[in-house]
């Protein structure tokens, strides 16, 4: 059995930058264990599986070890595949997911904009494993689906060398670390060792929490954000109607056929 396969670098216009996602185009759903095995074989932070419906596509996302409820970069990559390879006449695509309806728009310049849920965080006491795992005490700690650790400056974010075994003790999906940027509004990094991803290169879903936090702090509804992993990537963020609109670019790296079963 075979399925069309694409590997796309998301939140970048340069190959081998941004965050790579595998996109598998299905005509019917195999078993969950099969989907997980394919994601483990791909060994990327996310594999997205899409299957056409009467309106739009169903989408599911898997890390090498588990299925997740929301993934930004793989949704952006899936939209890129739809717009450039499956249905080039479209300028909008709807994805039905475990996090509800996610709509992606393409503009004339090729930028893609995703309408995602807003996930504001609440201030909390930093868990001991968070401080020990990061090796630094944040200036402020908040929590939503992830812990959000706010630091004074970009240099601190770049210098962090987490102990991922300690971060595995935390009870949330992962840890977002963030600060004001030097050549953008906001910088961040994202660690999710409990999901088989020590450091994710560029994390769209983390910006569902970063955007409402920084928009409130900076008294704006628009941000330019960079995730300063080794691969780096850029995201334009907008808070609108209690939703987070995330814009980025993408580029195809691999196209082929995946054999399974």
pLDDT one-digit tens code per residue, 103-130: 999 999 999 999 999 999 999 999 999 9
Place of tokens 């971060």: 167
Antiparallel, parallel or unpaired: β 122-123 and 112-117: unpaired
**pLDDT confidence band for 257 (50 / 70 / 90):** very high
Instruction: Return the CATH number at 168.
Output: 3.10.310.10
Predicted confidence (pLDDT) at residue 91 exceeds the cutoff of 90: yes
What is the pLDDT, as a whole number, of residue 170? 98
Query: Cα(256)–Cα(156) distance, rounded to whole angstroms?
Result: 41
Note whether 153 and 192 are same-domain residues: yes
What is the pLDDT, as a whole number, of residue 255? 98
Query: Cα(201)–Cα(39) distance, rounded to whole angstroms?
Result: 17
| Count of the separate structural domains present in the chain | 2
Query: Cα(184)–Cα(228) distance, rounded to whole angstroms?
Result: 11
Average pLDDT in the chain: 98
- Of all residues in the chain, the percent with pLDDT exceeding 90 is 99
What lies within 8 Å, CB to CB, of 119 at 6+ separation is: 144, 145, 205, 208, 209, 212, 244
Note whether 217 and 146 are same-domain residues: yes
What is the pLDDT, as a whole number, of residue 261? 86
Note whether 112 and 126 are same-domain residues: no
Antiparallel, parallel or unpaired: β 250-259 and 2-10: antiparallel
Note whether 128 and 233 are same-domain residues: yes
What is the pLDDT, as a whole number, of residue 146? 98
What sign for the dihedral angle of Cα 162, 166, 170, 172? Answer: positive
Note whether 145 and 71 are same-domain residues: no
**For 168-218, how does the pLDDT look when each residue is reduced to its tens digit (9 = 90+)?**
999 999 999 999 999 999 999 999 999 999 999 999 999 999 999 999 999
Note whether 236 and 129 are same-domain residues: yes
Note whether 88 and 178 are same-domain residues: no
Note whether 108 and 134 are same-domain residues: no
Q: How many helices (H) and strands (E) does the chain have?
A: 6, 18
Which residue numbers are catalytic? 46
Note whether 237 and 126 are same-domain residues: yes
Note whether 89 and 145 are same-domain residues: no
Domain containing 95 equals 2-116+247-259
Instruction: Find the mean pLDDT for residues 28-50.
Output: 98
Note whether 105 and 137 are same-domain residues: no
Instruction: Find the mean pLDDT for residues 31-41.
Output: 98
**For 8-17, how does the pLDDT look when each residue is reduced to its tens digit (9 = 90+)?**
999 999 999 9
**For 127-158, how does the pLDDT look when each residue is reduced to its tens digit (9 = 90+)?**
999 999 999 999 999 999 999 999 999 999 99
Predicted confidence (pLDDT) at residue 233 exceeds the cutoff of 90: yes
Predicted confidence (pLDDT) at residue 45 exceeds the cutoff of 90: yes
Note whether 191 and 105 are same-domain residues: no
């Amino acid at each position: 059995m075979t399925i069309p396969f694409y590997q796309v670098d998301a939140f970048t216009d340069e190959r081998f930058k941004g965050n790579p996602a595998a996109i598998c185009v299905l005509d019917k759903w195999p078993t969950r264990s099969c989907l997980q095995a394919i994601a483990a074989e791909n060994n990327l932070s996310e594999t997205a599986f899409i299957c056409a419906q009467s309106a739009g596509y169903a989408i599911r996302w898997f890390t090498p070890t588990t299925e997740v409820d929301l993934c930004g970069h793989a949704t952006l990559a899936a939209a890129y595949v739809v717009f450039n390879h499956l249905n080039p006449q479209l300028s909008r695509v709807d994805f039905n997911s475990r996090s509800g309806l996610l709509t992606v728009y393409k503009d004339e310049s090729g930028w893609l904009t995703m309408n995602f849920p807003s996930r504001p965080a609440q201030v909390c006491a930093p868990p001991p494993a968070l401080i020990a795992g990061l090796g630094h005490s944040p200036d402020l700690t908040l929590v939503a689906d992830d812990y959000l650790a706010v630091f004074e400056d970009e240099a601190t974010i770049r210098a962090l060398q987490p102990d991922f075994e300690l971060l595995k003790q935390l009870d949330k999906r992962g840890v977002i670390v963030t600060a004001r940027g030097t050549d953008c509004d906001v910088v961040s990094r994202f660690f999710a060792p409990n999901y088989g991803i020590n450091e994710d290169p560029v994390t769209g879903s983390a910006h569902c929490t970063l955007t409402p936090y920084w928009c409130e702090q900076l008294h704006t509804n628009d941000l330019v954000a960079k995730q300063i992993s080794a691969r780096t990537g850029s995201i334009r963020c907008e808070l609108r109607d209690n939703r987070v609109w995330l814009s980025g670019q993408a580029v195809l790296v691999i196209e082929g056929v995946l054999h399974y079963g």
